[in-house]
Amino acid sequence: GAGVSQTPSNKVTEKGKYVELRCDPISGHTALYWYRQSLGQGPEFLIYFQGTGAADDSGLPNDRFFAVRPEGSVSTLKIQRTERGDSAVYLCASSLGLAGGLETQYFGPGTRLLVL
Amino acid sequence: DQQVKQNSPSLSVQEGRISILNCDYTNSMFDYFLWYKKYPAEGPTFLISISSIKDKNEDGRFTVFLNKSAKHLSLHIVPSQPGDSAVYFCAAMNSNTGNQFYFGTGTSLTVIP
């Protein structure tokens, strides 16, 4: 089966605009994660879904960031009133979601967001 | 506060020799560790993992060593190949408190033919 896919691969927007980033996890994976990677840094955790619910959103930087996963598969990360500091690569990962499991997270190629 | 640190931003190794990538962490509650490899314009790809009940895990040319007392792990690649040239990230998790990984800043490995 296919790996994690993310669309768009690149997004250029203007400061103040709204953007949506999409993630299609590996089929059958119930856990889904969003990370943000700034230049020269490692990925930083944003939010984790188990099924349809956000089990941990402690990494979201502020209330301009929101993510949904209404049917427990595809997820959308939404950023309102974008700022230049939001420019980064947004990575999505998925895993099986087994209870108590020490699981490997499989990453998509990322969406490169540039806010002008 | 960087809980996972990779203090060497880059490393160059001759083909056929051993590559050793290092990672240090500060949170003694971390109990699961992974190494990811990343090529430009791609997402990180899982390489190898180790749980805190072990001190070594080997998979082909790749071996990860964990020293819990020193809060240190390392990835050994032997023999190194030009295709190993990539950025390597270590990641750590406390499985008792959540599923988020904490990543280091990466080490760029160049294997010289």
Asked whether the predicted pLDDT for residue A47 surpasses 80, the reply is yes
Tell whether omega for the bond before B79 is within 30 degrees of 0, i.e. cis.
Answer: yes
Instruction: Give the C-alpha separation, A50 to A30, whole Å.
Output: 6
The pLDDT of residue A116 is: 96
Contacts of A48 in chain B (CB under 8 A): 98-100
The pLDDT of residue A100 is: 61
Give the C-alpha distances (Å, rounded to integers) separating A54 from A32, A101, B83.
Answer: 9, 18, 38
Chain segment B24-45, per-residue pLDDT in tens:
999 999 999 999 999 988 899 9
> A92: which strand partners?
A34
Q: Note whether B7 contacts A: Cβ–Cβ < 8 A.
A: no
Q: How many other CB atoms are found less than 10 A from the CB of residue A43?
A: 30
What average pLDDT does this structure show over B5-33?
96
Confidence of residue A68 (pLDDT cuts 50, 70, 90): very high
Chain segment B99-111, per-residue pLDDT in tens:
788 999 999 999 9
Give residue A54's identity as a one-letter amino acid code.
A
Three-state SS for B51?
A: strand
Instruction: Give the C-alpha separation, B95 to A68, whole Å.
Output: 24
Confidence of residue A102 (pLDDT cuts 50, 70, 90): confident
Q: What is the 3-state secondary structure (H, E, C) of A45-64?
A: EEEEEECCEEEECCCCCCCC
The pLDDT of residue A99 is: 66
Question: Does the distance separating the beta carbons of A108 and B43 come in below 8 Å?
Answer: yes
Asked whether the predicted pLDDT for residue A1 surpasses 60, the reply is no
Nearest to A42 among B31, B42, B104 (CB): B104
Chain segment B75-94, per-residue pLDDT in tens:
999 999 999 999 999 999 98
What average pLDDT does this structure show over A80-107?
89
Asked whether the predicted pLDDT for residue A76 surpasses 60, the reply is yes
What average pLDDT does this structure show over A89-109?
86
Contacts of B101 in chain A (CB under 8 A): 43, 45, 105
In angstroms, what separates the C-alpha of A116 from chain B's closest C-alpha?
21
Whole-number percent of chain B with pLDDT over 70: 100
Phi, psi of A26 (to 5 degrees): -65, 135
Question: Does the distance separating the beta carbons of A43 and B103 come in below 8 Å?
Answer: yes
The pLDDT of residue A101 is: 59
Instruction: Give the C-alpha separation, B40 to B38, whole Å.
Output: 7
